[in-house]
Amino acid sequence: MTNPLGTAAVAKLFIALTVTPVPTVSHMPPALVEPQARPIQRVTSRSPIVPATQLTTIVANDEIYEESARPTTSHEIIIGEIRQWNLLSADWDSEGAAAPNALSMKEAVTFVRLLDGDIPFPEPMLLASGHAALYWNESDLYADLEFLGDGRIAYFIKNDGDKHKGVLSFDSTKMPVVFQALIEA
């Protein structure tokens, strides 16, 4: 059997707690609100050291960021697009395409780094096979290179009416001579 005095006391306490306003963060004085901790951005060996004179301050969402004033190069744009493909899974095209082949992506990125700035830059393509490819379609040049992911490149190049196709080994330290002759011509 419960004690009616105890039940009434508990009921009064419950009512007092539910009716009494509780201060929220917006009602608290600023001195009592602790600042939100943010992770410290550390410079790693991969982070380039940029002189302070080349930094631009950007404010976004009430946060201040410093960004390099150096424009993104054509190499970096192409490499960035190729690397994003690694985030895709099988059937990325909704037509049964294979998942992107990481080795093929790596070979394509290496090849793009070897490209000379004097030639037109290619368009990167992700093929249904999961292989990375580079494509040129200029006035006198049509070229299609597929990186097979095993150290080989399949190619078709049409330059000034001459057609060349085949498969060759890719060293990754230097541009294959056949491409220098055909693409840069």
Beta bridge partners of 63: 60
Looking at residue 172, its amino acid is S
Between CA 153 and CA 136 the distance in angstroms is: 15
CB-count burial class (<10 Å; 0-12, 13-18, 19+) for 4: exposed
User: What range does the domain containing 95 cover?
Assistant: 74-183
Between CA 102 and CA 112 the distance in angstroms is: 15
The verdict on residue 47 lying in a domain is no
The verdict on residue 10 lying in a domain is no
Between CA 109 and CA 121 the distance in angstroms is: 13
The verdict on residue 169 lying in a domain is yes
The verdict on residue 78 lying in a domain is yes
The verdict on residue 118 lying in a domain is yes
The verdict on residue 154 lying in a domain is yes
Average pLDDT value for the chain: 78
The sign of the dihedral angle between the CA atoms of 87, 171, 137, 154 is negative
| pLDDT, tens digit, 9 for 90 and up, residues 28-58 | 555 555 555 555 555 444 445 545 555 556 6
Kindly compute the dihedral angle of the four CA atoms of residues 98, 103, 104, 108, in this order, to the nearest 10 degrees: 150
The verdict on residue 164 lying in a domain is yes
Between CA 130 and CA 3 the distance in angstroms is: 76
The verdict on residue 59 lying in a domain is no
Instruction: Look at the chain and report how many structural domains it folds into.
Output: 1
| pLDDT, tens digit, 9 for 90 and up, residues 108-139 | 999 999 988 777 889 999 999 999 999 999 88
